[in-house]
Amino acid sequence: MIIELGDFMGYTRDFLELKQIFDPGKSEIAIPGSSVMIINDLFRSDAEMNEFLEKADFSITENLSFSYPVFIPEIKMSRNVILLLHGLNERSWAKYLAWGFRLCQLTGSYVVLFPISFHINRTPSSWSDPRIMQQFVKERTGENDKISFSTFFNYALSNRLSEEPMRFFNSGYQTVFDIVKLMNQIKKGTHRLIPAGSHVDIFAYSIGAFLAQIILMGNPENLFSETKLFMFCGGSVFSSMYGTSKLIMDSMAYDRIYNYYLNDFEKKINRRNPFSEFLRSTQIGMSFRSMIDFNRFRSFRENLIGKLREQIRSVSLRKDKVIPADGIMRTLNIKGKGNYSEVEVWDFPYVYSHENPFPVVKDLEGNAVDFWFDRLFEKAALFLA
């Protein structure tokens, strides 16, 4: 059931209010003037990471035990869930609270905001401290004056990926198995908030869309056979993404991971170990490999995406420089199948970017942001409801 948009406050007002009242340390958060509420549930990651995770990363306890917000709909017995997956290098839920709130309002579904490994509150607080990070930025750029887009905000991710590009894969690997655990909790009725056997769909943005595509293609434990996926600013293979950004990663980190996954990754798989066996012998491992470049296991990728056509919708942005619309169209437009009508390219009539598609601004431009936010999430809700 879709509720009329006129029943809601504007996006800008929602964003500011939710940002002010949200506290990941509170167990329950009431939203003024709404029957929807937020409950922060606890999660313990028990994915087997011994063969994958860097030894130093095992000491980051925040990545193993953390909370995640669940928007609880007015009708508590709803058996529909939307899993919302965020973008790369996010440090808080502030950007996504209004997104989850609106999806919950429009669809009557539980909306779960789940953090990717080593993102949001799965990181040490020091990674988000400008005073601490700024000193490291000076040292990093001092050692290499060719680095561009290096900031205190992207230092932690940039340094970690430059040091070990496998962390990009490792983060996704752990997140997939955390999500599988979450799905089993829901299906088996052991989740403390969501009714047993609920149906789960996905709203995914940016790198979250990349992760969600691989999950649907790999379909671990057949848990995602009926899952629908709505992607925003995402949907392309890795080689068509350009992650250099003040808010994502610096040029050195991007060059490092791009060269590694395009040139070295397949060579590493030739060695016999649990890592290579996983990537060679499982459907989700092969799905990841096929999503690196257009011509890598192309038939495998296009066969799976072709089967998922009815389950996937995508909205990309014309001025998106991080995950350009052309790469999304090329990835999802299966050769010989005609135009992929499930992909739309929009162009908002205000200043936006991939990292900030809905800026908080005033006056007429603010009205335009509110309008296009409403339009996007109504479209997503119609598909996911």
Q: Is the pLDDT of residue 288 over 70?
A: yes
| Selected residue with higher pLDDT from 20 and 385 | 20
Nearest to 169 by CA among 84, 269, 85, 315: 269
Per cent of the chain over pLDDT 70 is 94
- On whether residue 168 sits in a domain, the answer given is yes
Interval 185-195 mean pLDDT? 95
Q: Is the pLDDT of residue 355 over 80?
A: yes
- On whether residue 194 sits in a domain, the answer given is yes
Q: How many CB atoms lie under 10 A from the CB of residue 71?
A: 26
Q: Is the pLDDT of residue 280 over 70?
A: yes
Nearest to 45 by CA among 161, 165, 182, 157: 182
Residue 144: per-residue pLDDT = 83
Query: Which of the four pLDDT bands, split at 50, 70 and 90, describes residue 375?
Result: very high
Whether residue 18 contacts residue 98, with contact meaning beta carbons closer than 8 Å, is answered with: yes
Q: Choose the weakest-confidence range: 73-77, 80-84, 244-248, 294-298.
A: 73-77
Map tokens 């149906």 to a residue. 199
Distance (Å, whole) CA 23 – CA 38: 10
Whether residue 249 contacts residue 89, with contact meaning beta carbons closer than 8 Å, is answered with: yes
Identify the bridge partners of residue 200 per DSSP, sorted by sequence position: 81
- On whether residue 158 sits in a domain, the answer given is no
Q: pLDDT tens-digit profile of 320-331?
A: 999 999 999 999
Distance (Å, whole) CA 316 – CA 82: 20
Identify the bridge partners of residue 81 per DSSP, sorted by sequence position: 110, 200
Contacts with 213 (C-beta within 8 Å, 6 or more apart), sequence order: 229, 231, 235, 287, 291, 305, 312
Q: pLDDT tens-digit profile of 104-151?
A: 999 999 999 999 999 999 999 999 899 899 999 998 988 888 899 999
What average pLDDT is seen over the chain? 92
Map tokens 């995640």 to a residue. 68
Q: What are the structure tokens assigned to 175, written together?
A: 């997140």
The total of structural domains in the chain comes to 1
Question: For position 65, which CATH number holds?
Answer: 3.40.50.1820
- On whether residue 299 sits in a domain, the answer given is yes
Residue 52: per-residue pLDDT = 64
Nearest to 327 by CA among 248, 233, 263: 233
Identify the bridge partners of residue 104 per DSSP, sorted by sequence position: none
Residue 54: per-residue pLDDT = 66
Query: Which of the four pLDDT bands, split at 50, 70 and 90, describes residue 90?
Result: very high
- On whether residue 40 sits in a domain, the answer given is yes
Angle (CA) 99-102-106 rounded to 5° is 140
Q: What is the pTM of this model?
A: 0.94
For residue 190, the enclosing domain spans 5-123+164-240+293-384
- On whether residue 85 sits in a domain, the answer given is yes
DSSP state of 197: T
Q: What are the structure tokens assigned to 134, written together?
A: 């700024």
Distance (Å, whole) CA 307 – CA 368: 37
Give whole-number Cα distances, 269 to 176, 278, 296, 299, in Å: 20, 9, 14, 20
Residue 53: per-residue pLDDT = 62
Distance (Å, whole) CA 41 – CA 24: 9
Q: pLDDT tens-digit profile of 31-82?
A: 999 999 999 999 999 987 766 666 678 889 999 999 999 999 998 889 999 9
Residue 142: per-residue pLDDT = 87
- On whether residue 372 sits in a domain, the answer given is yes
Query: Which of the four pLDDT bands, split at 50, 70 and 90, describes residue 273?
Result: confident
- On whether residue 98 sits in a domain, the answer given is yes
